[in-house]
Amino acid sequence: MASTTDQVIRCKAAVAWEAGKPLVIEEVEVAPPQKMEVRIKILFTSLCHTDVYFWEAKGQNPVFPRILGHEAGGVVESVGEGVTDLQPGDHVLPVFTGECKECAHCKSEESNMCDLLRINTDRGVMIHDQKSRFSINGKPIFHFVETSTFSEYTVVHVGCLAKINPLAPLDKVCVLSCGISTGLGATLNVAKPKKGSSVAIFGLGAVGLAAAEGARISGASRIIGVDLNASRFELAKKFGVTEFVNPKDYKKPVQEVIAEMTNGGVDRSVECTGHIDAMISAFECVHDGWGVAVLVGVPHKDAVFKTSPLNLLNERTLKGTFFGNYKPRSDIPSVVEKYMNKELELEKFITHEVPFSEINKAFDLMLKGEGLRCIIRMGA
């Protein structure tokens, strides 16, 4: 087979031409990777709520036409100048945030918020030359969060690629590119519940259930799921959730309900909804003296967090997290190994699968609130 290195590749991509309109499968031209870039063949991608959010473009800058997608697994096709730690044939997961390994954040053991490659949802071009690698008949098509995985081939900065075990099934581990790692890491890396402890999870979507999975792996004895949608409770049992609270069932604040259930509050809580009331409840429901609350959900930009300073003075801790505090290149390969060692169960997150030609079905499922993750098979 002829090498495609240094050649423009023509392939199929699902293009979002305008906000809220179905994606259109188009033939696009994908330019070769430039300095510190890698071109990869995407084999499997999945749909995350963040894709839907920016596709709807309600409340953010609309950047169209654009190729969305950021949870995926693929194989390196070619590498650009300066790339030394990846080569053609390597299996990789593209990640919406990066790790340059050189900035103060990357050198810090406490941070994963790379100065160079931190997520930028408005940028539709590559960092190297401020140009797109995608085009249709010479017209540029914009990138999305450094990844753009709804294309059979895409170009990604090397710092946004995690090289993983080639034996790991890409149709399963692709979901570790975003939401599942975010929830899992929020519990394992930030909340850090001790064995036998109690954990409250606010929001039982895919990220919240991943946080519950982290609590299960940690050996928590009580995992209390909090959600306004009672239909989510049955599924959540598969992820270790032991008890359920629907705030709509009570006339008092849910933090008071949880405090009564747990003799003063839970040891840890993880908030995965982005709603400010849930964030405040998650903080106020942890036990004084040692309780830790972790915020994962992204609130409205104008939201304000209000609580009594006494809640902090009484030795409760409030923490935030970004991508579960995982550094993509350094840490995600070991999360893949947790799956390979059967410590982490990914199959239960995958509820649907569609061929690439039917990618809009994945959007329909998410908009209806059906299932957790839909795997999209490329080349089908």
H runs (alpha helix) in 254-340: 254-261, 276-284, 309-313, 328-340
Which residues, at least 6 apart from 263, have a Cβ–Cβ distance to it below 8 Å? Answer: none
> Rg of the chain's alpha carbons, rounded to an integer?
21
User: Is 11 annotated as catalytic?
Assistant: no
User: Is 352 annotated as catalytic?
Assistant: no
User: Is 272 annotated as catalytic?
Assistant: no
Query: Smallest Cα–Cα separation from 245: which of 266, 228, 262?
Result: 228
Catalytic residue among 11, 26, 49, 222: 49
Query: Smallest Cα–Cα separation from 182: which of 292, 335, 286?
Result: 335
- For CA atoms 41, 47, 50, 53, give the dihedral sign: positive
- For CA atoms 278, 279, 282, 288, give the dihedral sign: negative
CA 53 remoteness from chain centre:
13
User: Is 275 annotated as catalytic?
Assistant: no
User: Is 373 annotated as catalytic?
Assistant: yes
Catalytic residue among 39, 146, 154, 178: 178
Catalytic residue among 77, 100, 149, 187: 100
User: Is 10 annotated as catalytic?
Assistant: no
Q: How many CB atoms lie within 10 A of CB 84?
A: 7
Catalytic residue among 77, 106, 174, 213: 106
The letter for the amino acid at 236 is A
User: Is 174 annotated as catalytic?
Assistant: no
Helix (H), strand (E) at residue 377: strand 373-377
Q: 254-261 and 276-284 helices cross at what angle (nearest 10)?
A: 30
Catalytic residue among 50, 97, 182, 273: 50
User: Is 110 annotated as catalytic?
Assistant: no
DSSP class of residue 221 equals S
User: Is 307 annotated as catalytic?
Assistant: no
Catalytic residue among 118, 128, 222, 377: 118
Catalytic residue among 91, 143, 157, 373: 373
Catalytic residue among 39, 66, 70, 287: 70
Helix (H), strand (E) at residue 104: helix 104-107
User: Is 374 annotated as catalytic?
Assistant: no
DSSP class of residue 299 equals P
The letter for the amino acid at 163 is K
User: Is 103 annotated as catalytic?
Assistant: yes
State the catalytic residues.
48-50, 70-71, 100, 103, 106, 114, 118, 178, 373
